[in-house]
């Protein structure tokens, strides 16, 4: 450290790097949010009903700026740029998160369902009004008794061939639509997901456009709605419950891009396999998961900007006999609390950047994307959303604690961030379920029979397929070969010979863990079935290992994205700073899971201690850069809204 020359960060250049190709869009959204910064105070001072109306007012004003329409076709008033639309949504997370979520419901979920599941006649009827906000809608998928298990939804849409209408019904309270944003107050129309029933037989879950309120705001006949009531956070979003009592809609209100019902009640679809058809329909809505993950990462930036700035001015204790107390950020423990999370935020940002670029390419050129590429995109979106939202919850809480009592005051933004981001871990898919889908995608690389299966489908697969010929031959053996392939320098010496700051060492550690965990899942599945255990029990016992393998996979994707980004930078101080953060991220992940690596013989006690020492050294190197690193996020000062920073 004595010879270390501190890099001088070029903050505008680093901001430009983070903003990427959509700098103009992000700048526009920052300016829009700044002009409505008072809403952060109004969230505290207004009553719930008044604040809900205020949030609606803000998103309709923003719709007028064009920020909400960027991902829609130009012919309906959009910008035809999916990447730009994600960038705009992510940046909304710098402001009040009720605005972000309500915007996501209106333009991402409701508008996105019309766009991706509907055809031209649906677009011409509803899309322009949805984009402008003249038609306020909701996305009625989740049911009280059927959360993540969408295929088991119980709401029915039965075709009446005589009237040429679908009749929607809620069979019992467990089938009521629940937690539906915009439903309690503002939506006039819902996209409703229900079992399509023809002559007593369900053809699976499909989406229908259903009016729920008339032009005067009165409920339509047969529709019952209740408010979900106060929530932990996001009380500017009017979540509600919906029941349908034989509500009739025209046959044309079926969003029929992937399946059609003729006038005489004949079901037609170009996708014959019902599981494949279902996952294809849901796959078109992947943009929601990508958006939520990016928003969570940006919320982490706000929390870190507030906490680091506070720690850079708040003094506490000090050396005996000294005249000045020490800054909080000069304490090693405080550095340990904030700086690895700052490093992970940068890493997740770059991983999100890779994901958004892939999403943009796949959806901008749908004919060029094969089935495997789409599935890989869905898997990456699920995994990044899971780790990004968990990171937000962890980071916001740690930042709150790091600011002591000041962080507990509503005037200092962190309390609202903590409350409003909490649900991110469970909407757009519970994170544990999403990681099981990631693991399914990984297993698909080795056994194609895993394709198109959700959690229950994986159980059926374990029960019905000759596991020894699929899992053992194509998964275990191939995985073990790949494990050997990623070990540099031979199985016995690589741990001792590679330096802990060597990117190849870091990547090898991440890759080895991922492959070993995945092979372990395959072996456990086989062993359970060979032992005569029930498939449901086999899968249940394997779930912790399934989730662990998926987390290891996403950790590796984050490190690869971070490493690639830093490697591509021109030499200079910004590259030095980001290399420090990349190292800090990689070693922190290894340290957090060092027991696993040590159990499996890939981390000696000496190397473990070296990693811990090196993390401390990296924190000391990053400490003088921390203020510039959070300033590079370009969170407008008006949106940090922290009394303790004045």
Determine which one of 165, 353, 398, 428 is catalytic. Answer: 428
Chain centre to alpha carbon of residue 456: 22
Q: Could you give phi then psi for residue 144, rounded to 5 degrees?
A: -55, -45
- Choose among 101, 411, 38, 103: nearest CA to 234: 101
Distance, CA of 502 to CA of 498 (rounded, Å): 7
- Choose among 463, 467, 465: nearest CA to 536: 463
Residue 428 bears catalytic tag: yes
Q: Could you give phi then psi for residue 360, rounded to 5 degrees?
A: -60, -45
Which residues, 6+ apart, have CB-to-CB distance to 473 below 8 Å?
A: none
Q: Could you give phi then psi for residue 270, rounded to 5 degrees?
A: -75, -10
Cβ neighbours of 171 (radius 10 Å):
12
SS (H, E, C) 102-142: HHHHHHHHHHHHHHHHCCHHHHHHHHHHHHHCCCCEEEECC
Asked if 131 and 76 touch (Cβ cutoff 8 Å), the reply is yes
Distance, CA of 287 to CA of 109 (rounded, Å): 9
In the chain, the N- to C-terminal Cα span, in Å, equals 34
Q: Could you give phi then psi for residue 158, rounded to 5 degrees?
A: -95, 130
Distance, CA of 237 to CA of 179 (rounded, Å): 10
> With 0-12 CB in 10 A as exposed, 13-18 as middle and 19+ as buried, what is 492?
exposed
Residues taking part in catalysis: 428
């Amino acid at each position: 450290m004595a010879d270390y020359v501190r890099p001088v960060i070029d903050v505008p250049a680093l901001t430009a790097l983070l903003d990427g190709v959509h700098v103009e869009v992000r700048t526009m959204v920052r300016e829009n949010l700044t002009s409505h910064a008072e809403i952060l105070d109004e969230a505290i001072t207004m009553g719930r009903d008044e604040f809900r109306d205020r949030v609606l007012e803000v998103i309709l004003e923003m719709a007028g700026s064009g920020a909400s329409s960027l991902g829609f076709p130009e012919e309906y008033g959009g910008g035809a740029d999916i990447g730009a639309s994600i960038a705009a949504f992510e940046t909304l997370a710098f402001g009040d998160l009720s605005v972000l979520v309500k915007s996501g419901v209106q333009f991402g979920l409701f508008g996105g369902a019309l766009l991706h599941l509907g055809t031209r006649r649906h677009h011409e009827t509803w899309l322009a009004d949805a984009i402008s906000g003249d038609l306020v809608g909701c996305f009625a998928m989740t049911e009280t008794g059927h959360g993540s298990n969408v295929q088991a939804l119980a709401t029915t849409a039965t075709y009446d061939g005589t009237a040429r209408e679908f009749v929607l019904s809620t069979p019992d309270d467990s089938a009521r639509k629940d937690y539906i944003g915009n439903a309690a107050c503002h939506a006039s129309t819902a996209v409703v997901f229900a079992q399509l029933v023809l002559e007593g037989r369900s053809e699976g879950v499909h989406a229908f456009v259903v009016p729920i309120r008339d032009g005067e705001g009165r409920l339509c006949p047969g529709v019952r709605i209740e408010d979900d009531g106060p929530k932990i956070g996001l009380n500017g979003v009017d979540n509600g419950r919906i029941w349908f009592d034989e509500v009739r809609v025209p046959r044309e209100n079926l969003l029929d891009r992937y399946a059609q019902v003729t006038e005489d009640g004949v079901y037609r679809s170009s996708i014959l396999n019902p599981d494949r058809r279902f996952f294809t329909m849901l796959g078109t809505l992947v943009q929601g998961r990508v958006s939520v993950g990016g928003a969570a990462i940006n919320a982490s930036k706000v929390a870190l900007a507030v906490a680091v700035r506070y720690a850079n001015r708040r003094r506490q204790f000090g050396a005996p006999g000294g005249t000045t107390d020490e800054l909080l950020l000069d304490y090693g423990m405080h550095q340990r609390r904030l700086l690895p999370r700052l490093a992970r935020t940068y890493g997740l940002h770059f991983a999100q950047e890779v994901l958004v670029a892939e999403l943009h390419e796949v959806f901008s050129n749908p004919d060029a994307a094969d089935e495997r590429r789409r599935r890989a995109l869905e898997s990456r979106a699920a995994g990044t959303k899971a780790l990004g939202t968990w990171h937000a919850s962890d980071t916001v809480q740690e930042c709150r604690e790091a600011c002591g009592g000041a962080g507990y005051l509503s005037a200092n933004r962190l309390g609202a961030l903590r409350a409003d981001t909490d649900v991110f871990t469970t909407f757009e898919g519970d994170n544990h379920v999403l990681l099981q889908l990631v693991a399914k995608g990984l297993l698909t690389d080795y056994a194609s029979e895993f394709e198109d299966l959700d959690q229950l489908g994986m159980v059926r697969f374990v029960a019905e397929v000759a596991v020894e010929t699929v899992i053992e031959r194509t998964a275990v053996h191939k995985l073990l070969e790949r494990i050997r392939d990623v070990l540099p320098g031979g199985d016995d010496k690589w741990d001792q010979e590679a330096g802990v700051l060597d990117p190849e060492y870091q990547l090898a550690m991440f890759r080895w863990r991922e492959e070993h965990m995945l092979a372990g899942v395959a072996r456990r599945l086989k062993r359970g079935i060979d032992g005569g255990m029930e498939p449901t029990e086999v899968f249940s016992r394997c779930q912790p290992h399934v989730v662990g393998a998926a987390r290891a996979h996403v950790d590796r994707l984050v490190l690869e994205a971070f490493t690639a980004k830093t490697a591509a930078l021109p030499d200079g101080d910004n590259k030095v700073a980001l290399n420090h953060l990349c190292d800090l991220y990689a070693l922190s992940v290894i340290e957090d899971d060092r027991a696993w690596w040590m159990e499996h013989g890939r981390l000696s006690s000496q190397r473990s201690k070296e990693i811990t020492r090196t993390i401390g050294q990296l924190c000391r190197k990053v400490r003088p850069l921390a203020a510039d690193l959070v300033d590079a996020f370009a969170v407008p000062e008006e949106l940090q809204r922290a009394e303790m920073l004045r």
